[in-house]
Structure 1
Amino acid sequence: MAPPANRAVWQDAPAAPGVIRDSTIPGSDELGDHKVLVKVHAWAINPCDYMLQDRDMGLAYPMILGCDVAGTVEAVVPGSPAASKFSVGDRVFGFCANNGFQEYVVLEDKLMAKVPDNMAYREPVVLGLCIATSAMFLFGEDYLQLEYPRPGAPKNGKSVLIWGGSSAVGSNAIQLVTAAGYDAIATCSKKNFDYVKSLGAAQVFDYKDADVTEKLVAELDKGECAGIFMAAGLKDGNAAAIKVAAASKQTLKFASSNFIENLEEIPKGVEVKQLSPGSFKPFPICWFETTPATFEGYLPQALASGAYKIAPPPLVINNKGLEGIQEAIDLQRMIGEKGQEGVKAAFIRAKGEVNEDEVTPVKLIVERA
């Protein structure tokens, strides 16, 4: 059977808005053993989407951005390993390393899962890239090497510091380490304390507090800290979290979502866990190792049972399909530049005038028309 007609948002050059035009997709007989063709019903927007749109990252143009998608299975090769897990018509969510802003997207069967029956596409679509990123740094053998999450895991008496707990990556990291039996110690702004605690954080600290280093060290050194994960904060976040690690009486493992270039300046007593640029595992292989914590293990059951929360909550910006993607990217850029004011602008765009108390961390969503 011939593949369906497809359109995509093309990025023709850095700092240019996306342009919608046709895109090719493989037929069902071309997918291979581990690929699934998905008809997309919802797209989630990540900060990397506007960053990649704005900057010349040395990528080949034209290209298609976008990672997180949810929709229905359109095609899978009969008899393939992927067909043992997914069937045509299944409602699924997952992610890819760019190439997501299309009406039909090819996903790796290891990086997707079924949408629970009681959920709309807009809910689990927020998880893909961020839960996979969190899992890689928390559980990967090259990073913190924590124990994997599992239903009913007992408390192990150890803590993990999540710097940037209210971010999309941090929201997932808190839930994953808590489900693995660790006490999640998190930082965020005061406004988001209740949100972060609702995800399972045992203790929350204001990252803007002048004494936050001393307070965090005192908390971590009450017992054994299994590591620090800088989930959000870029270079400033790295510097602040490394300062905590250096001040601790323990030798702490440190992993960051933002690559650390100045390793020669890292204080003694901090064990940085990251790959060198030359040995970094390529996409999507880098996420395969830790799928027992995500799509091929803990996540589907925990999501279906309600043990895992949809976080950050979805905020539907429009239901224009691909025609609404650029608007959502622009709003995500505003959030990146203006912080809380940017989030408020997104709420107003989606819901009209809102009270300040309603403005919480969110993931921007575009739905199919």
Structure 2
Amino acid sequence: MTTHRAALLQAKTTRFTMSPVPTPTPGPGELLIQVKALAINPVDTAQRDKGFPPIPSYPAVIGSDVSGIVVSTGPDVPDSAPQPGSRVTAMASSFYTGKMQYGAFQEFVLAGWNGVIPLPESLSFEDAAVFPLASLAALSGFTTIGIPLDARFTTEDKRAVLLWGGASSVGTMAIQFARQMGLVVYTTASAKNHEYLKSLGAHRTFDYHNADVVSQIVDAVKEDGVTLTDAQTFAWNSLQSVLDVLKETKGDKLGKVGHAPPLLPDAPSMEGVEVKFVLPPMEPAAREQHKNQVFHGWLKPGLENGTVVPSPQVQLVEGGLEGLNAALDIIKDGVSATKLVVKV
């Protein structure tokens, strides 16, 4: 096979069109994956409709989350990595290179081996597609606020974290990882999602629609006798509420907030609280080490032993690659506790 189909963005702010593209050969440290399912993220809509985050050149293939079957491996791929024929989930993104052969929205894609992990037989391709970007973003959120990925807390530590927007795809993964770290997890979501988030590991859930949600969280922290200085938020227009909580709970310590949406110039701030946009390390060597920790240190063993489960629930969008425009339109209108997935 010399070509395959891809969903191309021909220019900035255009919609996807189907086109044949060359099927690449994996280079050093790379795997070629036949895509069976892919997941949609809000950033995909921003890139299609606004060209942000910036796309270096067009035509372009975007997307990050795939599951599928390894077709071939390039040089310098370790024997411990998935081999041809393996069922896998993979971080397949053209974000850093700008080259279309690394974008998820196509039938065959290249991915670096340290962002590819094997799937348990019990896990479908559709469920497996939800993991890569959400896991990377959730765990990068912890390192952004100074909680290393090898951190483990005991009940006696009484260390809490606030996760605002827990029903989002990143939020549900952050809840699972925070629970494994031993953190006491406070999260916000619509009331209809509270029991689901508790099943993932949230200790307390709060409805962000309530006018007194800040005081509810503050009262719970005092009642539980925990230390709350750290937060992540996955929702727009939530930063002021997060800051208001930390003002009352951090004491004389430095508060830290990992902000998953891009920080706008007029974003609120507060003395004694550090707010940072959530990003993995940008220096290439550190970035690859971090990715290895996320996928091989956390996600792989989590899937093997069942401590990490697909979240949130999957909603299939019909039409294969041709259904991508409709899928991005749906997520642009907003979804709740739902991950949109397309079968390829």
Normalising by the residue count of structure 2, what TM-score does the alignment of the two structures yield? Answer: 0.87
Q: CA deviation at 1:246?
A: 2.3
Q: Does the residue aligned with 1:310 lie in a helix, a strand or coil?
A: coil
Q: How does 1:50-69 map to 2 (within 5 A)?
A: 50-57=45-52, 58-59=54-55, 60-69=57-66
In the alignment, does 2:262 pair up with 1:259? yes
What is residue 103 of structure 1 aligned with on the other side?
107
Q: Contact (CA 8 Å) 1:76, 1:82: kept in 2 or not?
A: no
What is residue 367 of structure 1 aligned with on the other side?
343
What is residue 304 of structure 1 aligned with on the other side?
304
Q: CA deviation at 1:262?
A: 4.7
Q: Does the residue aligned with 1:122 lie in a helix, a strand or coil?
A: helix
Distance in 1 separating the partners of 2:281 and 2:298 = 25
Q: Does the residue aligned with 2:192 lie in a helix, a strand or coil?
A: helix
In the alignment, does 2:70 pair up with 1:73? yes
Letter in 2 for 1:38: I
TM-superposition CA deviations, 1:193-230 (whole Å, max 9, x none): 11111111000111121111112123334321251111
RMSD over aligned Cα, in angstroms? Answer: 2.6
- Of 218, 224, 227, which aligns to 1:224? 227
Distance in 2 separating the partners of 1:143 and 1:194 = 27
TM-superposition CA deviations, 1:94-130 (whole Å, max 9, x none): 1233411011111111112111111111111111101
- Of 144, 147, 150, which aligns to 2:146? 144
Distance in 2 separating the partners of 1:203 and 1:160 = 11
Note closer, same or farther for the CA distance 1:275–1:39 as it changes in structure 2 (3 Å cut): closer
What is residue 346 of structure 1 aligned with on the other side?
none
Q: CA deviation at 1:154?
A: 4.6
Q: Contact (CA 8 Å) 1:40, 1:105: kept in 2 or not?
A: yes
**Unmatched runs of 5 consecutive residues or more in structure 2:** 95-102
Distance in 2 separating the partners of 1:18 and 1:9 = 5
What is residue 317 of structure 2 aligned with on the other side?
317
Distance in 2 separating the partners of 1:5 and 1:284 = 32
Q: Does the residue aligned with 1:72 lie in a helix, a strand or coil?
A: strand
Segments ≥4 residues shifted beyond 6 Å: 282-285
Q: Does the residue aligned with 2:206 lie in a helix, a strand or coil?
A: strand
What is residue 16 of structure 1 aligned with on the other side?
14
Note closer, same or farther for the CA distance 1:175–1:41 as it changes in structure 2 (3 Å cut): same
Distance in 1 separating the partners of 2:145 and 2:46 = 25
Identity within the alignment, %: 26
What is residue 330 of structure 2 aligned with on the other side?
331
**Unmatched runs of 5 consecutive residues or more in structure 1:** 336-342, 344-359
Q: CA deviation at 1:311?
A: 0.2
Note closer, same or farther for the CA distance 1:21–1:285 as it changes in structure 2 (3 Å cut): farther
Q: Contact (CA 8 Å) 1:97, 1:284: kept in 2 or not?
A: no
What is residue 98 of structure 2 aligned with on the other side?
none
Letter in 1 for 2:341: I
Q: Contact (CA 8 Å) 2:34, 2:69: kept in 1 or not?
A: yes
- Of 32, 39, 46, which aligns to 2:41? 46
Normalising by the residue count of structure 1, what TM-score does the alignment of the two structures yield? Answer: 0.81
